[in-house]
Structure 1
Amino acid sequence: MTPTPVQTPPGADLPQHPEFLWRNPEPKRHYQVVIIGGGGHGLATAHYLARRGITDVAVLEKGWLAGGNMARNTTIIRSNYLWDASAGIYEHALKLWEHLDEDLDYPILFSQRGVLNLDHSLTDIRDSRRRVAANRLNGIDAEWVDAKGAKDICPILNIEDNIRYPVLGGTYQPRGGIAKHDYVAWGFARSADAAGIDLIQNCEVTGIDIVAGRATAVQTSRGPITADRVAMVGAGHSSVLAAMAGFRLPVQSHPLQALVSELLEPVHPTVVMSNAVHVYVSQAHKGELVMGAGVDSYNGYGQRGSFHVIERQMSAAVELFPIFARAHVLRTWGGIVDTTPDASAIMGLTPVENLYVNCGWGTGGFKATPGVGHQMAELIATGEVPELMREFSLERFTTGRLVDEHGAAAVAH
């Protein structure tokens, strides 16, 4: 139950020069596979395609590689979701995370310091114990702890009963943690490039050509590119891409923001999340506190958020961690997340032949990165939907077989 102390992993001080880690090629006029979106999921898909021997691949990114949500997330990794389908894909990802630095031959600074989800009411406790039971049935490490147990895990946590939402306990996943998001992206990009895959930056997709119900090409700011298969992996802009192909996705795009503090000595040994006060806090490898909350309620594509969300998340953080009351905010940022009606992703086939989709991860896309990349590569390579993806099909919004993870995804994570 006691978490591993926060330590600087080997390789944390390695000099990083991402501009020299991969080529910057001109796009060819045809590829076997085109991946739209050069973020974590797109790069991971390319990496695992190369592992299958498929290297006639282009990853198209309208800006710079991993400059969207991958560069703007808060790096939390866990797999303790309620439903079997969610637990399956996230646990698959977590197992890949545990050996990813070896696979990429690159340090990703994966720190399994544990993730603690707090309970503040009897309803929270009931739901948490139910989730722990479901996790254990799926072979996922999970336990429920009382307030004292939560403080044993995170000694700086305030468990007094004189606050708005006293801590009554929580769920704890020891194998959860954080990773260095930039290093993860650079590792995947470096691997894909070394295999001969073209990573095309500053290449915005402006249209998708459909002939006889089949995707045949993409129109880009750098000219048309024909392809045998096309994968849409553009987090935040998935509905825009789908509209280019002539169909609609049940997703909405929202700003999601977070912030970091000035550098501090190591004081916060784990990751703490709370739905009731709507905040989550971890301490990054360099020492800054990383804090986030939920999505802004309005729809938009701006990479910024509302001040009142920052104000509320800071208030919640100080309530749970009085020791942070005098810490200074260093910077804030925002990303664009696409959310679905059941708070779960959409992966698999589309109404257009040879056009595949991966979207709708909301606030939980980072933790799924290697898992969904691995599964998307299998889908693209074989044309068959892998077992772990089947319940996340687009058709579930017609059949009603939803994967409702609102309980597990109520707070950005």
Structure 2
Amino acid sequence: MPFSLLKYGLSSDYPVDVDLPAPKELKSSYDVVIIGGGGHGLATAYYLAKYHGITNVAVLEKAYLGGGNTARNTAVIRSNYLTSEGVKFYAESVRMFQGLSNEFDFNIMYSERGQLTLAHTDATVRAFRQRAEVNKHFGGRTEMIDRQQIRELVPTLNLDPGHLPVLAGLWHIDGATARHDAVAWGYAKQAAKRGVEIHQLTEVQDFVVEHGKITAVKTNRGTVKCGCAVQAIAGHSSLLLNKLGIRAPIHSYPLQAMVTQPFKPFLDPLVSSSALHCYVQQTGRGEVVFGGGSDPYPLYNTRSTLDLKESLLAHAIEMFPFLANAKLMRQWAGTTDMTPDYSPIMGRSPIDNYYLDAGWGTWGFKSTPICGKTMAELVASGGRTPELIAPFALERFSTFQQVNEMGATAASH
């Protein structure tokens, strides 16, 4: 076997499956320009090509593929949200995630492990009961469990942390994780195979707007004409919208996480507590990941801070006291673009041929497949909004039809 590998590696004519074509010059025009080369932008390009035959598409990324929030999250996948609109949307995304490895012929390391959210008060228990019923009604697998069931599920969990004893839990069987960069590269590879052009180190700097429509996009590599454009740039959404004079209720906050040295497996489910502002999971490599709520002030930055580390780890140690002596390996942050109702903004913008995929806050990665599919439908139809994303339109903030998902995250905001 080692001999064969050596022979394969030194051969000059062995078959190579190149993920992406070599970089090339921008064309003068495209049918669709997608701004942002993260999971959402690449997924939209892939589904445009696969389901709608639209391949004259350019994905423009100012840095490298999947290098923004796609690479700066904790890779959690779930659908246990509060509203019927949210549950239907994310449940469909979970179903799509389950088949992505086969669809790509590329292992995204999807791992269904379940998510346990802890209830520390009677009010939370009542809210979780309602949440479980909403989830079951719209196809999610979620149920309430008691202290004994929690103890059996996570034997290492401290059920009586300080003044907040655990009363019950919301057990979301569909909770899972996947390798975030593998998801981005799987979409990129398959989109490129179908003729989509992917341009890294290509920053969108401005737009040409004529008669209420986008006619061209100005980049650091020149100006390209386009039939329409899709914005999918996560944390910096509002900055690009400002260039077009589009008002949207988005504020960006840093969101931090950290990971320990590896341990032997002791934690299979993802465990979270909104009361303790913390969630904990163990990766396939044995590292323990800690995450929590966003920083308390707006900032377009991905720096890490000591104060967040101290407060987050204090709560994590309340949940798992034996981790007090664990050594941290690294800490990182992303930039979350939050909306007032903690739901995304998807669909048409005030500019006819400019489509929005923004305001994703802390829940963007888990929506990658369904977001790409529905945004592709929107673009291919010339602006007819798919029913699944109609509740997330920008206009909901002026018509007072918000989709309130406040408190639906693994750690409260």
Give your verdict on TM over 0.5. yes
Contact kept, 8 Å, 1:69 with 1:335, in 2: the verdict is yes
What is the distance in 1 between the residues matched to 2:25 and 2:335? Answer: 28
Q: What SS does the corresponding residue of 2:202 show, helix, strand or coil?
A: coil
Q: What SS does the corresponding residue of 2:310 show, helix, strand or coil?
A: helix
2:8 is aligned to none
Which residue identity does 2:198 align to in structure 1?
L
1:280 Cα deviation after fit: 0.7
Which residue identity does 1:140 align to in structure 2?
G
2:198 is aligned to 199
Which residue identity does 2:75 align to in structure 1?
T
1:31 is aligned to 30
1:105 Cα deviation after fit: 1.1
Which residue identity does 1:399 align to in structure 2?
T
What is the distance in 2 between the residues matched to 1:410 and 1:280? Answer: 6
Q: What SS does the corresponding residue of 1:237 show, helix, strand or coil?
A: helix
Spell out, residue by residue over 1:116-140, the C-alpha distance to the aligned partner (whole angstroms, 9 max, x if none).
Answer: 1111111110111110011112121
1:100 is aligned to 100
What is the distance in 2 between the residues matched to 1:164 and 1:27? Answer: 60
1:162 Cα deviation after fit: 5.8
2:125 is aligned to 125
What is the distance in 1 between the residues matched to 2:167 and 2:25? Answer: 57
What is the distance in 2 between the residues matched to 1:301 and 1:130? Answer: 36
What is the distance in 1 between the residues matched to 2:139 and 2:268? Answer: 25
- 5 Å-filtered alignment, 1:115-194, equals 115-159=115-159, 161=160, 163-194=162-193
1:257 is aligned to 256
Q: What SS does the corresponding residue of 1:144 show, helix, strand or coil?
A: strand
- 5 Å-filtered alignment, 1:38-117, equals 38-52=37-51, 53-117=53-117
Q: What SS does the corresponding residue of 1:259 show, helix, strand or coil?
A: strand
Which residue identity does 2:314 align to in structure 1?
S
Which residue identity does 2:71 align to in structure 1?
A
Spell out, residue by residue over 1:94-117, the C-alpha distance to the aligned partner (whole angstroms, 9 max, x if none).
Answer: 010111111111100110000111
Contact kept, 8 Å, 1:363 with 1:412, in 2: the verdict is no
1:176–1:410 CA distance, 2 compared to 1 (3 A): closer
1:338 is aligned to 337
- 5 Å-filtered alignment, 1:273-312, equals 273-312=272-311
How high is the TM-score relative to the length of structure 1? 0.93
What is the distance in 2 between the residues matched to 1:351 and 1:260? Answer: 42
* Consecutive aligned runs of 4 or more in structure 1 exceeding 3 Å deviation: none
What is the distance in 2 between the residues matched to 1:185 and 1:323? Answer: 35
Identity of aligned residues (%): 44
State whether structure 2 residue 192 is matched by structure 1 residue 211. Answer: no
Contact kept, 8 Å, 2:275 with 2:412, in 1: the verdict is no
1:22 is aligned to 20
Contact kept, 8 Å, 1:379 with 1:385, in 2: the verdict is yes
Contact kept, 8 Å, 2:117 with 2:410, in 1: the verdict is no
Contact kept, 8 Å, 1:81 with 1:135, in 2: the verdict is yes
1:163 Cα deviation after fit: 2.0
Which residue identity does 2:362 align to in structure 1?
T
Gaps of 5+ in 1: 1-18
What is the distance in 2 between the residues matched to 1:360 and 1:34? Answer: 20
Contact kept, 8 Å, 2:292 with 2:410, in 1: the verdict is no
What is the distance in 2 between the residues matched to 1:313 and 1:362? Answer: 19
1:116–1:162 CA distance, 2 compared to 1 (3 A): closer
Contact kept, 8 Å, 2:115 with 2:171, in 1: the verdict is yes
State whether structure 2 residue 351 is matched by structure 1 residue 386. Answer: no
What is the distance in 1 between the residues matched to 2:161 and 2:57? Answer: 58
Which residue identity does 1:330 align to in structure 2?
M
2:227 is aligned to 228
Q: What SS does the corresponding residue of 1:297 show, helix, strand or coil?
A: coil
1:16 is aligned to none
2:411 is aligned to 411
How high is the TM-score relative to the length of structure 2? 0.93
Contact kept, 8 Å, 1:292 with 1:412, in 2: the verdict is no
Contact kept, 8 Å, 2:88 with 2:139, in 1: the verdict is no
Q: CA RMSD in A?
A: 1.6
What is the distance in 2 between the residues matched to 1:128 and 1:233? Answer: 32
1:410 Cα deviation after fit: 6.8
Greater shift, 207-216 or 19-28, is seen at 19-28
Contact kept, 8 Å, 1:343 with 1:409, in 2: the verdict is no
What is the distance in 2 between the residues matched to 1:75 and 1:210? Answer: 37
Gaps of 5+ in 2: 1-16
What is the distance in 2 between the residues matched to 1:29 and 1:156? Answer: 59
What is the distance in 2 between the residues matched to 1:246 and 1:20? Answer: 41
Q: What SS does the corresponding residue of 1:186 show, helix, strand or coil?
A: helix
What is the distance in 1 between the residues matched to 2:191 and 2:140? Answer: 31
Contact kept, 8 Å, 1:156 with 1:321, in 2: the verdict is yes
Spell out, residue by residue over 1:27-66, the C-alpha distance to the aligned partner (whole angstroms, 9 max, x if none).
Answer: 2111100000001111111111111211110100000010
Greater shift, 239-248 or 218-227, is seen at 239-248
Number of aligned residues:
396
1:305 Cα deviation after fit: 3.5
What is the distance in 2 between the residues matched to 1:401 and 1:299? Answer: 25
2:5 is aligned to none
What is the distance in 2 between the residues matched to 1:412 and 1:377? Answer: 32
What is the distance in 2 between the residues matched to 1:151 and 1:358? Answer: 40
Spell out, residue by residue over 1:215-236, the C-alpha distance to the aligned partner (whole angstroms, 9 max, x if none).
Answer: 1111101100110010000101
1:25 Cα deviation after fit: 2.5
Which residue identity does 1:157 align to in structure 2?
L
Contact kept, 8 Å, 1:258 with 1:293, in 2: the verdict is yes
